[in-house]
């Protein structure tokens, strides 16, 4: 969400970097590298998602440092690739942001944690919950995982970001409510619509691209 330099304390920066490293290691270990090497379609999806996110994140709005607004798109990528590859694709997109000068390198871990890792984990957890509930209507996957899952994921990421900025002393809680949290429900709507619409289209035209979709469950 556009964390800039000097927004976090040294302690927060270290904790964020450690969390980033732990989650990144778990993501790398969760990936089926043999399948990725053998499946050219999966490779195209992975690199295509990274490039698409890199361009999508160039479009953002915001006035105050660290409180920028943009569509994440991580939920769709998570449903397409699984959470491990989604994290890696998102981080590749973040590398593009650093190269183009849109994000500072020193805040790579913080931005990766908020923009990529938190929404990917939340999206994947919601997908697992939907799977555990064993819904037999494919609309459950579309609405629970696509529309509502992405809206909840961006909301959680936004709250985590605000907590980081509040505890660092950069903003007061009242300022965060006034400048960001009060608008958070409005951010959730386009995020949910964008991800849900793409999930719907892929289920209709190319469901095999959604690696988290178990088509045998639905009728």
Rounded (10°) angle between helices 74-81 and 184-205: 30
Residue with tokens 């000068």: 101
pLDDT tens for 13-43 read 899 999 999 999 999 999 999 999 999 999 9
CA atoms of 148 and 144, how far apart (whole Å): 5
Q: What is the pLDDT of residue 104?
A: 86
pLDDT for residue 2 is more than 70: no
CA atoms of 18 and 78, how far apart (whole Å): 23
pLDDT tens for 37-96 read 999 999 999 999 999 999 988 877 666 666 777 788 999 999 999 999 999 999 999 999
CB 46 within 8 A of CB 89: yes
pLDDT for residue 3 is more than 70: no
Residue with tokens 């694709």: 89
CB 3 within 8 A of CB 67: no
CB 43 within 8 A of CB 89: no
DSSP 62: -
> Residue 187, Cβ neighbours under 10 Å: how many?
20
DSSP 69: B
Pick left, alpha or beta for residue 3 (phi over 0 → left; psi -120 to 50 → alpha; otherwise beta): beta
The dihedral over CA atoms of 92, 53, 24, 156, expressed in degrees to the nearest 10, equals 160
> Residue 47, Cβ neighbours under 10 Å: how many?
12
CA atoms of 116 and 85, how far apart (whole Å): 11
pLDDT tens for 117-134 read 999 999 999 999 998 888
**Domains (ranges, CATH) in the chain?**
10-217 (1.10.1760.20)
pLDDT for residue 184 is more than 70: yes
Residue 216: Cβ-neighbour burial (10 angstroms; 0-12, 13-18, 19+): exposed
pLDDT tens for 162-177 read 998 898 888 888 988 8
Nearest to 203 by CA among 141, 134, 148: 141
> Residue 70, Cβ neighbours under 10 Å: how many?
19
């Amino acid at each position: 969400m556009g964390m800039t330099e000097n927004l976090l304390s040294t302690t927060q920066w270290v904790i964020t970097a450690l969390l980033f490293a732990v989650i990144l290691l778990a993501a790398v270990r969760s990936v089926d590298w043999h399948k990725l090497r053998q499946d050219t379609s999966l490779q195209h999806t992975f690199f295509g998602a990274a490039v698409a996110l890199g361009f999508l994140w160039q479009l953002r709005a915001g006035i105050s440092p660290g409180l920028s607004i943009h569509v994440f798109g991580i939920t769709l990528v998570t449903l397409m690739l699984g959470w491990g590859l989604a994290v890696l694709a998102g981080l590749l997109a973040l590398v593009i942001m650093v190269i183009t000068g849109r994000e500072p390198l020193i805040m790579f871990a913080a931005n990766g944690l908020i923009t990529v890792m938190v929404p990917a984990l939340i999206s994947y957890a919601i997908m697992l919950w939907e799977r555990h509930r064993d819904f037999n209507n494919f609309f459950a996957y579309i609405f629970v995982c696509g529309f509502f899952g992405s809206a909840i994921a961006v909301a959680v990421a936004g709250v985590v970001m605000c907590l980081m900025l509040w505890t660092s002393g950069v903003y007061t809680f009242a300022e965060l409510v006034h400048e960001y949290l009060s608008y958070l429900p409005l951010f959730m709507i386009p995020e949910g619509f964008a991800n849900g619409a793409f999930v719907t289209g892929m289920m209709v035209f190319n469901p095999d691209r959604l690696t988290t979709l178990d088509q045998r469950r639905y009728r």
